[in-house]
Amino acid sequence: MANLSNPVMSSSALVEPRPLRVGLLGFGTVGEGTYRMLLDNAESVAAKAGIPLVVQRVGVRDTQKPRSAPSGLFTSDLQSVVDDPEVDIVVEVIGGIDPAVALVERALANKKPVVTANKEMIAKVGHRLVNQAHKNGLDLHFEAAVGGGIPVIQALKHQLAGNDVPRMLGILNGTSNYILTKMSETGAPFDEVLAEAQGLGYAEADPTNDVDGFDTLYKIAILAGIVYGGPADLDQIHREGIRHLDAREFDYARILGYTIRLLGVAEECGPRRVRLRVHPTMVKNDHPLAGVRDVFNALWFHGDFVGDLMFSGRGAGADPTASAVVGDLIDVARNYNLQGSGSAIPYGQSLAMEPMETVESRYYVRLNVLDRPNTLGRIATAFGEHEVGLAEMEMHVVGPDEGEIAFLTHISKEGDFVRSLTAIEELPVVNMVAAWMRVEG
Ligand code: NAP
Ligand code: HSE
């Protein structure tokens, strides 16, 4: 971070360096956690950074709220924080786009490095911000934006960067993983478990971002941007949430030896060509991701040289997320102290995106059928005519003249599989395709 001067250090190496002064934008879950960690661990943070870090000013919406920090720190004029010459570095933990993006742009224009936890901002305009930081030789770090306390971004940017990465699979949203774990283990329906998650403070009053897959979409886009070297068009990422999942799918998953997880999936389909998708997935019980329960997050990564890796840990909450923010701050402070250059790694061209039709996967499907002698044969023929091979099956009578069949297929092309379902839905012995899902493991 060449353009931040530290006059006390440069005038004499013997003089105690003056602290790095932090301007905190936001004092909610993450902001308060970051403040507390900087206080509680002040000594070890200063020792590792080579310079003390102090919170100089805090921007919030409501300065009248009771806070766990001296009231003199707070202001509702957030622009004054990023413009303050006594603020050396800006931490953005407000969230969302407005006013976060404008404030980060202004901080960078003011030659201040930035640390943020804001996945929506980084997924939508991160390439622009990172390029701005890079041009100015500034740091822009966002470890907390994906996986909370799990140090996955730095690992992908640096230590794993030499690998070609055919696939990454992530459980990237704690709220939805908690809901899926409870639905699977208690048999309770979605609405009941969501209400419980809200009561425990895991899910927000408006749970859309979490349960409809937006949060996971932002996170897998950020990871893909780092691994494949360019921004992804968010509109071309396939997204399904977990609201529609029926308790029956959890029953069949259990019988067949699987568990259901909301996955963010990134696959390399050619040079700078990727397919990104977010959807509930049946994960085989012996896959490492199947054991990731409750609010935990995980990233399963396959690199051509390193092989399979999995990172897991707490993906949300004040303390784990503060751990990631403070880790980034220490990185910036080391640069500041050593007068190093900014470490923002610029994005390249936008990634080319591959359509869902070309996914190759195994599939689960549950059909409601008429309980007739020729039902199974006609369904199996329709799958076969579309190049879809069947691997496993569970069949139950559920009423007079009514049956339910759950199939697991062999690996098939998604286009073939979807066309087979259209044909099957038209068979006179099929009442409906009740549900289907992609399968891992
Ligand atoms: P939060 O608890 O809702 O806190 C948001 C803070 O920003 C509050 O202090 C609020 O002020 C302030 N704020 C919001 N809008 C503002 C505006 N227009 N002007 C001024 N101040 C404003 O949010 P959070 O959970 O800490 O999340 C912050 C960021 O971290 C988000 O990008 C989130 O996605 C990300 N993140 C969160 C977690 C987590 O576990 N919570 C984990 C990883 C990443 P008041 O206090 O006055 O309301
Ligand atoms: N709402 C997010 C989750 C917070 O549930 O995982 C962390 O980004």
Residues β-bridged to residue 395 = 405
Average pLDDT over residues 61-75: 97
* pLDDT score for 343: 66
Q: How far apart are CA 412 and CA 418, in angstroms?
A: 10
Question: CA 179 → CA 156, 170, 352, 427, distances in Å?
Answer: 28, 16, 33, 35
**Cα 246 to ligand 2 centroid, rounded to whole Å:** 23
For residue 144, the number of C-alpha atoms closer than 13 Å in the C-beta half-sphere is 30
Strands (DSSP E) contained in 122-272 are 140-141, 167-171, 238-239, 258-270
| Ligand 2 centroid, distance to 148 Cα (angstroms) | 8
Has residue 131 got a pLDDT over 80? yes
Smallest-distance ligand from the CA of 99: 1
- Any idea which of 14-18, 149-153, 196-200, 330-334 has the lowest mean pLDDT? 14-18
pLDDT at 1 over 90: no
Ligand nearest to the CA of 80: 1
Listed as own residue / partner, the contacts of 129-132 with beta carbons closer than 8 Å and 24 or more positions apart are 129/101, 129/104, 129/105, 130/344, 130/345, 130/346, 130/347, 131/346, 131/347, 132/105, 132/108
Pick the range with the lowest mean pLDDT from 136-145, 238-247, 284-293, 343-352: 343-352
Residues in the chain: 441
Q: Is 143 in the pocket of ligand 2 (CB under 6 A)?
A: no
Q: Which residues contact 75 (CB under 8 A, 6 or more apart)?
A: 57, 58, 59, 60, 63, 81
Assess whether 219 carries a catalytic annotation: yes
- Per the listing, tokens 């995106």 go with 353
pLDDT confidence band for 320 (50 / 70 / 90): very high
**What confidence score (pLDDT) does residue 198 get?**
85
The yes-or-no verdict on residue 399 having pLDDT over 80 is: yes
Average predicted confidence (pLDDT) for the chain: 93
Q: What pLDDT is recorded for position 347?
A: 81
Mutate which of 93, 153, 173 to test ligand 2's pocket (most atoms within 8 Å of Cβ)? Answer: 173
Q: Whose CA is nearest to atom 4 of ligand 2?
A: 316
- Cβ–ligand 2 contact at 174 (below 6 Å): yes
Q: Give 20's strand partners.
A: 53
Residue 308's nearest CA partner among 299, 319, 317 is: 299
Express each pLDDT in 350-396 by its tens digit: 999 999 999 999 999 999 999 999 999 999 999 999 999 999 999 99
pLDDT at residue 130 is higher than 50: yes
Ligand 1 site-directed mutation target among 24, 25, 27, 29, most atoms within 8 Å of CB: 29
Rounded to two decimals, what is the model's pTM? 0.92
What percentage of the chain has pLDDT greater than the value 90?
Answer: 89
Q: What CATH number does the domain located at 356-440 have?
A: 3.30.70.260
Selection from 353, 348, 354 nearest residue 230 by Cα:
348
8-148+319-337: CATH topology: Rossmann fold (3.40.50)
Give the distance (Å) from ligand 1 centre to CA of residue 117. Answer: 9
CB 117 within 8 A of CB 144: yes
Question: Which sequence spans correspond to the domains of the chain?
Answer: 8-148+319-337, 153-314, 356-440
Tell whether ligand 2 has an atom less than 6 A from the beta carbon of residue 22: no
From the list 111, 219, 284, 413, the catalytic residue is 219
The backbone torsions φ and ψ at residue 163, rounded to the nearest 5 degrees and listed phi first, read -85, 145
Does residue 300 come out as left (phi exceeding 0), alpha (psi in the -120 to 50 range) or beta?
beta
What whole-number percentage of the chain has pLDDT above 70?
Answer: 95
Q: Decide whether any atom of ligand 2 lies within 6 Å of the 173 Cβ.
A: yes
Residue 16 has pLDDT above 70, yes or no: no
Looking at the domain that runs over 153-314, which CATH code has it been given? 3.30.360.10
Q: What is the pLDDT of residue 204?
A: 76
- pLDDT tens digit sequence for 180-202: 999 999 999 999 999 998 888 77
In DSSP terms, 364 is beta-bridged to: 408, 437
pLDDT at position 205 over 50: yes
Contacts of 57 (CB under 8 A, 6+ apart): 23, 24, 73, 74, 75, 80, 81, 84, 86, 87
Name the more confident of 336 and 161: 161
Mean pLDDT of 52-57: 97
Q: What is the mean pLDDT of residues 201-220?
A: 91
